[in-house]
Amino acid sequence: MQNQQPKLYVIERIVSGLTYPTMGLVGFVWLIIGQITKSSPTTFTLYHCYLSIFLSLGYVIFNYIFWWIYEIVTHIPFLNVVVAQVVFLFNMPLIIGYSIMQILIYSAIIYLMITAFFGKYSYIPWFSDVIKSIVKR
């Protein structure tokens, strides 16, 4: 998605960047404030607010489904040991107390924050395409 505004305000970049580590809370509050003050947010701000909310909801839903399936698999002999070992390997402290999953999640959040602070549209396959179609409406 191309930058449609010739110049972005600094507050838009800050709000767009801070919406990712707060799991969409800053963006959600920004959208509510925009509705109360009857001002329309730019497509850049909308894109990042919607993307952060969408990614956060996707993460929570994926997490619940994963642990629900994990609980079912723990009752299957032999398979429970293999799955438990894989889950342990991804969640055990590896580098400075951070697990592989934490490193992946924090890296994604940092990527999204930096691109938003620089005034760029972040790209995450499938998620970004869905958000682009929502923002274009």
Query: The whole model's pTM is what?
Result: 0.86
Question: pLDDT tier at 3 (50, 70, 90 boundaries)?
Answer: very low
In this predicted model, what pLDDT tens digit does every residue of 65-95 receive, in sequence order? 999 999 999 999 999 999 999 999 999 998 8
Helices (H), the chain: 10-18, 25-36, 43-73, 79-91, 100-117, 127-136
How many CA atoms are closer than 13 Å to the CA of 6, on its beta-carbon side? 0
The residue ranges of every structural domain in the chain are 10-136
Asked if 50 contacts 121 with a C-beta cutoff of 8 angstroms, the reply is: no
Q: By C-alpha distance, which of 55, 49, 39, 42 is closest to 16?
A: 49
Residue 4 has pLDDT above 70, yes or no: no
